[in-house]
Chains A and B, each alone.
Chain A
Amino acid sequence: NAGVTQTPKFQVLKTGQSMTLQCAQDMNHNSMYWYRQDPGMGLRLIYYSASEGTTDKGEVPNGYNVSRLNKREFSLRLESAAPSQTSVYFCASSFDPGNYGYTFGSGTRLTVV
């Protein structure tokens, strides 16, 4: 089925550990995004990639890095995980930055202990 695929679905990390969240889309979209969702906070943009080869910071980029590997794939890396990064992470894609009919993945639930 066409859409956005995120891996893993669940992850528990110890403080200070690193990990990479993977995201891939098969809709030939140009733009990709990483959000985090916390209770009572709504969705907050971490980083986005308007097109292949570009990345920009969103609202809450500190503690994260991203890589737009190719048109299909956009990864999010936590270099040294902190408990404050416990959250649900969503990847999304759209045809272009002005198209807000985003398609979201099913999310990665990350717990940092």
Chain B
Amino acid sequence: DQQVKQNSPSLSVQEGRISILNCDYTNSMFDYFLWYKKYPAEGPTFLISISSIKDKNEDGRFTVFLNKSAKHLSLHIVPSQPGDSAVYFCAASAVDYKLSFGAGTTVTVRA
């Protein structure tokens, strides 16, 4: 059974606006969470992460929020740019090497 879920398969946003991607998880042992970005015909690349001891991590235009009680995390992209159009995967880890991924959300940034 999938332990990491991204319930929105797609998101369309206007350039300059905020993109909010959501992710839910079921395994309370997860203590590290990551977001990956994937362009067509390429492998996923690491974007940003957060440890379970934090509730927010920011890196430039990208911010990840973690709500442990709700077992929910979100990725905010502000402002959205055309180059952000990609598939975004949420991932979680309880063991050092083992990542559990969500199904991905396809983001389209409209000019």
A and B interact physically: no
- Residues of A participating in the B interface, judged by any CB pair closer than 8 Å: none
